[in-house]
Amino acid sequence: MAAAGWVGAISLAILSSSGPELRPIPARFEFRQTHMGSEFKIVLYTTGEAQARLASDAGFARIAALDKALSDYDPESELMRLCDKAGGPPVKASDDLFRCLDQAQAMSVRSDGAFDATIAPVVRLWRRARRTRVLPEAETLAKARALVGYRAMDLDPKARTVRLRKPGMKLDLGGIAKGFACDEAMAALKKAGITCALVAGAGDIVVSDPPPDERGWRIGVADPEGDPDRPTRFLVLKNKAISTSGDAERFVEIGGTRYSHIVDPRTGLGVVARASVTIVASDGTTADALATAAYVLGHERGIALIEKIGASGLYVQAGPKPKTYATRHWADLPGEIPARK
C-alpha cells in the first residue's frame, strides 16, 4: 500500500504585515515527474517560485541520473552493463552505483539474506508469471536460484569495484533504489537552500524540516481494515524517512494463492503473506530496504530486525485475520493512533 498523504499550510500570501516590517512567508510548491516507473513528488516551502523551480529541477535531475545508473529495465544502464560482466574480473563502478550496492549488501548481511539484490534471475521469472499467470517451472526456478546469493558479490570500497563471481548473475535494486533516490534528491534540495521539503517515490517518502507552523509532515499509514486510498492513521514526521512494502499492489494469483512481487530468496517463491510493513527510519535507503526485508521475514523476525537496526516499524497483517505488530517505540512516534494487538 502506498502510504502517501500530507497536509501543510498553503500560504497564498507571500508577505506578512504582522510586524513592523514586511516579512516573506514561505509558500508551498508541489512538482511531479515520473522516474523508475513511479510517480515522484517534491513538495517544498520557500519564498520564491524561481528558487522552488531551480531546487526541484535539481532534485529531479538527481533522480533521473540514478534511474539511468540503477535501472534493471534499461539494458544500457550502468547496472545492466555490470551484470553483463558477471563471471569476469572486477568492474569499476560509479559512486552512485557503488554506494547503492554497498547499502544493499549491508541490508543483506543484517537481514541474513532476506533482502538480496542478486535476486534478479528469480524476480524475472515472477515478472513473467505475473504476465502469464503460470507458475515458474521447478527446474527453471532452481537454475535461477542457483545464481542468487549476495555473498557471491564482492565490493571493493578502495578500488570502487564490483565483482559478480558467477556467470549469469544479475542484480535488481528495485527494493532500495527509490528510497536511495529520495535521499539523494533531498540532499540536492538542501544544496539548493531548501530545508523544508518532502520527496516521495510511490510508497517511499523522505521529509526534512516541518512546514511553517506545523509539527511535521502528516503521512498516512496502512490500516488493515481501512481503505488504502483514505488512510485513517497518520504520523507527523520531520527529518525522517518512511517506506511501505507488501503485497497490496503488485502480485499474481495462481491456483488460489497470492504471490507478491517480493520474493523470498530462501525459497525462490513470491511471498504469500497478505501484509504490509511500514518503516520509519532516519534515511530513505534504510527505510526502503528494511521494509522489503521485514516483509520477507514475517512479523516475528521482521519486527526483531527493525528493532536491531534501531528503526520503528509496523507489520500490518491484512486478509481475514487483520492484526498489527509494532516495534517497541512505534507508539511514541508523533501523531500515531496506537497499534492494536
**Residue ranges in contact with ligand ADP by CB under 6 A:** 115-117, 119, 123, 172, 174-175, 202-203, 245, 250, 261-263, 265, 288, 291-292, 296
Is residue 246 within the footprint of Mg ion (CB under 5 A)? no
Alpha carbons 255 and 252: distance in angstroms, whole number: 10
Least distance to ligand ADP, CB of residue 295, Å: 6
Q: Which residues contact 31 (CB under 8 A, 6 or more apart)?
A: 41, 42, 43, 52, 56, 60
> Beta strand pairing status for 204-207 and 240-246?
antiparallel
Stretch touching Mg ion by CB under 5 A, among 85-93, 115-123, 239-247, 326-334? 239-247
- Chosen residue from 175, 268, 270, 313 binding Mg ion by CB under 5 A: 175
Instruction: Please identify, using beta-carbon distances, which residue of 45 and 115 lies nearer to ligand ADP.
Output: 115
Instruction: Please identify, using beta-carbon distances, which residue of 288 and 336 lies nearer to Mg ion.
Output: 288
The C-alpha cell at 43 is 513538495
Residue 323 three-state SS: strand
Least distance to Mg ion, CB of residue 181, Å: 12
Least distance to ligand ADP, CB of residue 133, Å: 18
Q: What is the DSSP letter of 16?
A: E
Instruction: Please identify, using beta-carbon distances, which residue of 245 and 317 lies nearer to ligand ADP.
Output: 245
Least distance to Mg ion, CB of residue 245, Å: 5
Least distance to Mg ion, CB of residue 244, Å: 9
Q: Which residues contact 57 (CB under 8 A, 6 or more apart)?
A: none
Is residue 292 within the footprint of Mg ion (CB under 5 A)? yes
Contact (CB, 8 A) for 274 and 228: no
Choose among ligand ADP, Mg ion, none what residue 247 binds, the Cβ cut-off being 5 to 8 Å by kind.
Answer: none
Q: What is the DSSP string of 143-167?
A: HHHTT--GGGEEEETTTTEEEE-ST
Beta-carbon neighbour count of residue 53 at 10 Å?
13
Residue 270 three-state SS: strand
Q: Which residue is nearest to ligand ADP (CB)?
A: 174
For residue 2, which of 293, 326, 287, 278 has the smallest C-alpha distance? Answer: 278
Is residue 111 within the footprint of Mg ion (CB under 5 A)? no
Q: Which residues bind Mg ion (CB under 5 A)?
A: 175, 245, 288, 291-292
